[in-house]
């Protein structure tokens, strides 16, 4: 079986005709494509037989993961005369820091799916190319994508066929939500900061970081943002004035994004024994919570996630305060039915990384970010800029919660 790629048809004008159309790439239309896209997503979620898999439920909204960006698009690949949807891709354009408060327009490529029956025919490559064209039309200078470093098909597609380069490696830290509460010291105060104040503080704290979004106040004001919180020792409460920029000598700070209202996750394919053991730990934790047993949440039914971002700490007690603040978020999630885990993504050199509680078994040590210069010429598709070749002076990479 072979596929013949039709002419470039994105966007397609009403007067355009193509002889023997085989593959057409166009913008997603909810009325026309929603059911087919949901079916395709389901096909692509099937894991290896006999092995556990993590399934994503987009809750009836195929563009949920890009909806909160001002500039976003979803493309679909239609094959054959009946227009069967055989591939999808999503993308957005935002303005972020490259380093040292220098802003650049950047595209984020995500959600690439190709029907298992139609793989190895260049459909994924075509989808990426059409999305990049849209991104360039909207001013993007660079494009990047993220994937697990063990996902060889994805890494090979982007680095060998689409001209992307391995750029940064981050760590995804996962903390399950237990049935018991985490203890919070009575000597620590947790303050909730207004979005405007939090945005002003973040602008100063992350000015030299990479990927810090220019529209941070829009993120902090979004309905999915559950708040920005600061933990400080109570003895320093009288010595700081946050509105005037007078910070305590030691503190920790983070924001919480509620992804469970965007999509749900579910673990499938585990053995009956594993399932019974996990359920057993949960029951014990619920019956005797004072023992604070490290129990499994019910991940075998759809569950949501809290994503923490903008993590920052200062002073001699910063590490301890960050741990208490993560415990505070855990207790928030514990009271919020249906939240199964708390997730953070941090650069491997970020000093906050060691302060964030997590289960190593559930975490990803290497989430690979690959990047491409969209202004590179066709003759030199791997042309690099100074952003590619020089190491960042800051160990901090700001992870936009909308990317997760």
pLDDT in tens, 173-189: 999 999 899 999 999 99
The least confident of 7-21, 62-76, 97-111 is: 7-21
How far, in whole angstroms, is CA 252 from its chain's centroid?
22
Lookup: tokens for 387: 């952003």
Q: What is the pLDDT of residues 246-303, one digit of tens each?
A: 999 999 999 999 999 899 998 888 888 887 888 888 777 778 887 777 777 888 889 9
The pTM is what? 0.89
Task: Please give the Cα distance from 402 to 66 (Å, whole number).
Answer: 7
The Cα 332–Cα 256 span in angstroms is: 10
List the beta bridge partners of residue 256: 227, 308
DSSP 350-375: -TTGGGS---GGGSEEEEEEEEEETT
46: how many CB neighbours lie within 10 A of its CB?
12
Measure the N-to-C terminal CA separation of the chain; round to a whole number of Å.
36
Identify the H or E element spanning 278.
Answer: helix 272-287
Give the pLDDT band (50/70/90) at residue 6.
very low
Q: What confidence score (pLDDT) does residue 28 get?
A: 97
Phi and psi of 322, rounded to 5°?
-65, -40
Structural contact between residues 62 and 76, judged by C-beta atoms closer than 8 angstroms: no
Mean pLDDT of 78-106: 92
Calculate the dihedral angle through the C-alpha atoms of 196, 213, 314, 357, rounding to the nearest 10 degrees.
110
Cα–Cα distance between 90 and 142 in angstroms, integer? 16
Task: Kindly compute the dihedral angle of the four CA atoms of residues 22, 26, 32, 36, in this order, to the nearest 10 degrees.
Answer: 60
Q: Answer whether residue 140 shows pLDDT above 70.
A: yes
Residue 377 predicted with pLDDT over 90 = no
């Amino acid at each position: 079986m072979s596929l013949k790629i039709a002419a470039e048809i994105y966007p397609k004008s009403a007067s355009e005709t193509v002889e023997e159309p085989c593959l057409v790439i166009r913008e997603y239309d909810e009325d026309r494509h929603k059911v087919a896209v949901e079916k395709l997503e389901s096909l692509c979620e099937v894991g290896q037989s006999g092995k556990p898999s993590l399934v994503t439920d987009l809750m009836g909204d195929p563009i949920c993961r890009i909806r909160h960006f001002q500039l976003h698009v979803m493309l679909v690949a239609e094959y054959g005369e009946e227009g069967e949807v055989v591939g999808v891709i999503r993308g957005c354009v935002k303005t972020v820091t490259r380093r040292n408060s220098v802003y650049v327009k950047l595209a984020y490529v995500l959600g690439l799916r190709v029907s298992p029956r139609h793989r190895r025919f260049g459909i994924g490559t075509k989808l990426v190319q059409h999305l990049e064209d849209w991104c360039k039309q909207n001013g993007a200078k660079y494009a990047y994508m993220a994937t697990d470093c063990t996902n060889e098909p994805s890494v090979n597609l982007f680095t060998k066929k689409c001209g992307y380069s391995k750029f940064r490696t981050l760590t995804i830290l996962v903390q399950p939500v237990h049935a018991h509460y985490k203890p919070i010291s009575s000597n620590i105060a947790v303050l909730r900061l207004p979005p405007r104040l939090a945005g002003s503080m973040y602008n100063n704290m992350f000015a030299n970081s990479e990927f810090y979004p220019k529209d941070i106040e829009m993120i902090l004001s979004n309905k999915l943002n559950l708040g920005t919180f600061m933990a400080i020792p109570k003895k320093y409460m009288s010595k700081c004035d946050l509105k005037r920029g007078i910070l305590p000598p030691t503190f920790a700070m983070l924001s919480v994004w509620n992804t469970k209202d965007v999509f749900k996750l579910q673990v499938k394919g585990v053995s009956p024994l594993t399932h019974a053991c996990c359920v057993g730990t949960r029951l014990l934790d619920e019956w005797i919570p004072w023992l604070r047993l490290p129990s499994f949440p019910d991940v075998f039914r759809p569950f949501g996630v809290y994503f923490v971002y903008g993590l920052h700490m200062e002073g001699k007690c910063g590490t301890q305060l960050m741990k208490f603040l993560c415990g505070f978020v855990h207790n928030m999630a514990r009271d919020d039915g249906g939240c199964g885990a708390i997730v953070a993504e941090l650069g491997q050199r970020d000093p906050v990384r060691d302060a964030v509680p997590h289960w190593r078994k559930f975490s990803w040590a290497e989430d690979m970010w690959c990047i491409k210069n969209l202004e590179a010429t066709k003759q030199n598709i791997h042309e690099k800029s100074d952003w590619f070749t020089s190491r960042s002076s800051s160990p901090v990479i700001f992870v936009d919660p909308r990317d997760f």
